[in-house]
Amino acid sequence: MDKIAIIVAAGSGTRMGSDIPKQFLPLKGKAVILHTIEAFIKAVPGIQIRLVLPPSMVAYGQSLIEGMPYQGQVTLINGGNSRFSSVASGLASVPENSLVAIHDGVRCLITPALINRCFEAAQAFGSAIPVTPVTDSLREVSVEGNHPTDAVSKALDRVNIRLVQTPQTFKTSLIQAAFSQQEQPGFTDEASVAEAAGKQVHLVEGDPENIKITRPVDLILAAAILDQRTAQDN
C-alpha cells in the first residue's frame, strides 16, 4: 500500500503566544515544521506529504520548502478552523487503498523508528495510535473552580491511563469513512473520531521524546533533545 503523511500545521498557537504560529518558529536554526517534514522524508523513501497550513500562510510555507530536495513530495493544502477540519481537508486529497499517517506538525522530534512502527501496525491492524505511560500521579476533579483549591478531587489509578501521541496511522478506508461524520466537541484526535464511527483502535508504543510543542518551555526542551541526539551521533 502507498504511504502518505498528512502533517497538520494550520493552528494559530495561542498557548505559545508567539508573533508567528509556533510551527514556523526556528528550532536549532530551522523552522519547526521542516524538522517534522524531514523526519517523514527520512523514514519512508518517496513518501508523499500533505502539508496543511493556515490559508494565509501557504505562500510562506511554499517559500520554506522551495529548493529543498524533497519539494516535489510535498503538497500544500489549506487548513480549517479546527484540527478536525484541517485533517478532513488533508484526507480529501488522499487516494483510497493507502496507509495514511496523520501527524501534528508541531511534534517535530518524531523519529523514523516511530513512523515506521506506526505504518507497520496500521498495515496489520488497520490503525496504529502511539501512546506512552503516565509518569505523574493523576486526580479527577469533579468541581472546577477558579483556583486549584476550589476543586473536589479524587486520585485516579494511572496504571490504566495512557498519553496519546501522533502519528495516528490508518488504512484510508477506515479513517476517510470516519471523517464523513459531523465534528463533535470531544474529537481531540483521529482515534476519537474513529471510535465514534464504531471502529476499535490499535495502540502501539509511543516515544516520550515525541513531545508536542505547545508552550515556550517545550521549545527549550526540544532544542536540548536535539543537542543530545547530535552528541550521540558524533
Ligand X SMILES: C[C@](O)(CO)[C@H](O)COP(=O)(O)O
Residues that bind ligand X (CB under 6 A): 83, 104, 164-166, 188-189, 212
In whole angstroms, how close is the CB of 189 to ligand X at the nearest point? Answer: 4
Cα(51)–Cα(37) distance, integer angstroms: 9
Q: Is 42 in the site for ligand CTP (CB under 6 A)?
A: no
H helices of the chain, where? 32-43, 58-65, 83-92, 112-125, 172-178, 190-196, 216-233
Evaluate the omega torsion of the peptide bond into residue 167 and state whether it is cis, within 30 degrees of 0.
yes
Question: Of ligand CTP, ligand X, none, which one does residue 171 interact with (CB within 5 to 8 Å by kind)?
Answer: none
Sole window of 104-112, 133-141, 147-155, 182-190 interacting with ligand CTP (rule: CB under 6 A): 104-112
User: Does position 79 bind ligand CTP by CB under 6 A?
Assistant: yes
Helix or strand or coil: residue 48? strand
Q: How far is the CB of 83 from ligand X (least distance, A)?
A: 5
Q: Find, among 119, 154, 117, the residue nearest to 138 by Cα.
A: 154
Q: Is 89 in the site for ligand CTP (CB under 6 A)?
A: no
Interface with ligand CTP by CB under 6 A: which range of 64-72, 80-88, 150-158, 187-195? 80-88
Residue that has been written with the C-alpha cell 486549584 in this structure: 148
Q: Which stretch binds ligand CTP (CB under 6 A): 99-107, 139-147, 150-158, 179-187?
A: 99-107
Kindly tell me which of 16 and 99 has the beta carbon lying closer to ligand X. 16
For the record, the C-alpha cell of 54 comes out as 493556515
Which positions ≥6 away from 234 have C-beta within 8 Å? Answer: none
Pick from 14, 153, 173, 188 the residue near ligand CTP by CB under 6 A: 14
Cβ(87)–Cβ(51) under 8 Å? no
CA 206 to chain centre: 12
Grid cell 513530495 — which residue?
A: 73
Minimum CB distance to ligand CTP, residue 157 (Å)? 27
- Tell me which of ligand X, ligand CTP, none is bound by residue 173, counting a contact when its beta carbon lies within the kind-specific cut-off of 5 to 8 angstroms: none
> Do 78 and 89 meet the contact criterion of CB atoms below 8 Å apart?
yes
50 binds, among ligand X, ligand CTP, none (CB under 5 to 8 A by kind): none
Q: What's the Cα-to-Cα distance from 200 to each of 90, 115, 212, 230, rounded to whole Å?
A: 22, 20, 25, 38
Residues in contact with ligand CTP, shown as a per-residue x/- string from 151 to 180 under the rule CB under 6 A? ------------------------------
Chain residues binding ligand CTP by CB under 6 A are 8-15, 23, 52, 79-83, 86, 104-106, 212, 214
